[in-house]
Chains A and B, each alone.
Chain A
C-alpha cells in the first residue's frame, strides 16, 4: 500500500496519485433543507486509483454526500469537480455518464431482469445502435449486443458471477445481489465508484471476500472507490484515506491509523470521556 501524502486544501492522496489529476474534488460542498444544513463545507480530494472511506455515526450525512455527488440532490453550496470538470447543472444521468457510478444502501436492482440484463442495461449509454437496427436486427444490433454480452460476462467474472448470468436478479441470494449491484455500477464505465454500505448484512467471510474484490476491481479497472461503511474492520483494512463526518461536517481526515487515534473521532463515536 502506498503512502498518503498531503495535497493543498488539507486533503491527502496516495503518493502514486500525487501528480495525477484527482478524480474527485469537492470544494465547500453543502446542502441545506430549509434551514437545516445536512452537509456543509465538505472538502475532499480523491486520487484516481484511491480507495477511500466515508464514515461517521448514523445521520451524519454520509448518504447525503453520495446523493450530492450523484445529483439526486442539487447542492446548495460549493462545487464538485469530476476529473477536473465542474458538474454544476448536470443531472443524475449526466453525472453518471461523466464517470460516477454508485450502489445503494438498500439494494435497488431491476428484479425482473436477468443478471446479465441488469449489467447490460447499465451499458445503455455506451451502446449506440438505433431503434431501427434494434427492431430489424441489423448488423449494428448484433455487433453491439455481442460486445455488450462479452463485456457483461467479463465484469461478472470479476465477482465470479458469470454462471448466474441468466438468473432473475430478484431471485439471487442477498450477498450475490450486493455483488451484482457493484457489477452493474461498473458497467457504466465509471472513474469513481461509490459504494453505500457494501458489506451491510454480510457475514465475516463474505466481508473478507468483498474486500478482496474491491481491491481487485480497483487494480483491474484502475478506478477510484469511495465507500460508506460501518464495518470498521473493512474500512481500516482497505481504505487508504478516511474522512469522518459528524452532523454534516468533516471532523477528521487521514490514514486509518490517524483516524483510530483521533480524539474527535473517538468522541463522535463513543461520546465524551
Chain B
C-alpha cells in the first residue's frame, strides 16, 4: 500500500502534477518505440505465422549502422542524423529480407517449433556477429535531437528539451512520439489502400487461397520482413537516442518487451501492436516511478498475464477460427 500513498502524495504535492505528466510523456515515448518494434513482430506473425525472435537484434544492428554512419558523416544540421537513419533502415531492410530468404523460407512447410528455434539461432548469430564486428565495449550513442542556438554574446547553447514551466519535454520524446504516429498512419493506409497491403491481409487470412488467386505469397512475405526490419532500424535509432548505451545485446530486452506488447495488443493486429506498445511503455515508466525500479518488469509482465487470462487473444486480437 506504500506506493499508493506515495503516488497520491506526489500528485497532491506541488511539483507532483508536473512529474506525473512527465512520467506519462516518457511512458508514451518509450511505448512508441515498443510499438514500432511490435509492428515488426505482429506483421511477420500475421503473415508468415512465425515468431521472429531475431527481430530485436535487427534493432541493434540498425543502431550500430546508425552510430557508425553518423560518425563518418561530417555534415551540419539535421542532415547527418537523417542520412544515418536512412542508411540504417536500408541495411536492416536488406538484412531482414536476407534472413527470411536464407533461414526461414526453406522452413516454410516445417513445423513451427523448427522455425522458432531457427529464429533464436539467428538472434544469437546476429549478437555474436556484432560482438565480433563492433566488440563488447559500449558505444555512447549520440543524441541526434539537439538544437544549437547562438545567443547575443556569441555563446552557443545546446538545447535538448523544451521547457513548459517546470515541465521539460526532450526533443527525443517529441520526435519518437511523432514518428510512431506517422508510421502508424502510413501503415494503416498502406495495408488498407494499396494492392500490396491488401495482398498482405489476404495472405494473413488464407495463404493457400491467396496463392490460388494469383498472389505472390513469397514476395508478400519478403515485403513484410522488409517493412518490419526497416521499422526496427528506426526504432533502434530512437531507442538509443533516449537510452544511449549501445552494446551487442541492446536489442534483446526491448525486443522481448515489444513482443510482449504485440501479444498484449493481440498478435497479428496492427492497431493492437500500437496500443499494446503504448500501454506497456506507460505501465513500465509508472511502475518504475511509483512502485520500484527493480520490480518494474515484474509488474509489467504480471499485468500482461492478467490481461491474457481475461482475454487470451490480447486486447484487439480476434478469435481465430480453426479450420477443420
B89 at the interface (CB under 8 A from A): no
Q: How far is the CA of A41 from the CA of B315 in the complex (A)?
A: 53
Given the known inter-chain contacts A131-B223, A135-B190, please indicate yes or no for A93 contacting B201, CB distance below 8 A: no
Known contacts A120-B198, A121-B215, then 17 further A-B pairs from the complex at CB < 8 Å, ordered by chain A residue: A70-B212, A91-B211, A92-B208, A92-B211, A93-B212, A109-B209, A110-B210, A112-B201, A113-B205, A118-B202, A121-B198, A125-B216, A129-B195, A134-B190, A134-B196, A185-B213, A188-B214
Among residues 117 to 134 in chain A, which have CB atoms less than 8 Å away from a CB atom of chain B? 117-118, 120-125, 127, 129, 131, 134
Q: How would residues 198 to 238 of chain B score, 1 for a CB under 8 Å from any chain A CB and 0 otherwise?
A: 11011001101111111111000001000000000000000
The interface centre, meaning the residue of B193, B195, B208, B323 with most chain A CB atoms within 10 A of its CB, is B195
User: 26 A–B contact pairs at CB < 8 A?
Assistant: A72-B208, A72-B212, A92-B208, A93-B212, A93-B215, A96-B212, A96-B214, A101-B212, A101-B214, A102-B212, A106-B323, A110-B201, A112-B201, A112-B205, A113-B201, A113-B202, A120-B195, A121-B195, A121-B215, A122-B215, A124-B195, A124-B198, A131-B194, A135-B194, A145-B193, A188-B213
Name the interface size band of chain B: 20 to 34
Q: Which residues in A have their C-beta under 8 angstroms from that of B214?
A: 93, 96-97, 101, 122, 124-125, 188
A184 at the interface (CB under 8 A from B): yes
CB atoms of B190 and A101 under 8 A apart:
no
Q: Report the minimum CB–CB distance from B203 to chain A (whole Å).
A: 9
B178 at the interface (CB under 8 A from A): no
CB atoms of B209 and A110 under 8 A apart:
yes
Among residues 266 to 323 in chain B, which have CB atoms less than 8 Å away from a CB atom of chain A? 323
Q: Which residues in A have their C-beta under 8 angstroms from that of B196?
A: 131, 134
Q: How would residues 81 to 116 of chain A score, 1 for a CB under 8 Å from any chain B CB and 0 otherwise?
A: 000000000011100110001101010111111000
Q: Which residues in B have their C-beta under 8 angstroms from that of A125?
A: 214-216
A42 at the interface (CB under 8 A from B): no
Q: Which residues in A have their C-beta under 8 angstroms from that of B190?
A: 134-135
Q: How far is the CA of A110 from the CA of B211 in the complex (A)?
A: 12
Name the interface size band of chain A: 35 or more
User: How many A-B contacts are there with CB distance less than 8 Å?
Assistant: 92
A159 at the interface (CB under 8 A from B): no
Q: Which residues in B have their C-beta under 8 angstroms from that of A92?
A: 208, 211-212
Q: How far is the CA of A135 from the CA of B191 in the complex (A)?
A: 10
B186 at the interface (CB under 8 A from A): yes
Q: How far is the CA of A92 from the CA of B223 in the complex (A)?
A: 20
Q: How far is the CA of A173 from the CA of B194 in the complex (A)?
A: 27
Given the known inter-chain contacts A92-B211, A102-B212, please indicate yes or no for A117 contacting B198, CB distance below 8 A: yes
Q: How far is the CA of A105 from the CA of B186 in the complex (A)?
A: 37
Q: Report the minimum CB–CB distance from B211 to chain A (whole Å).
A: 4
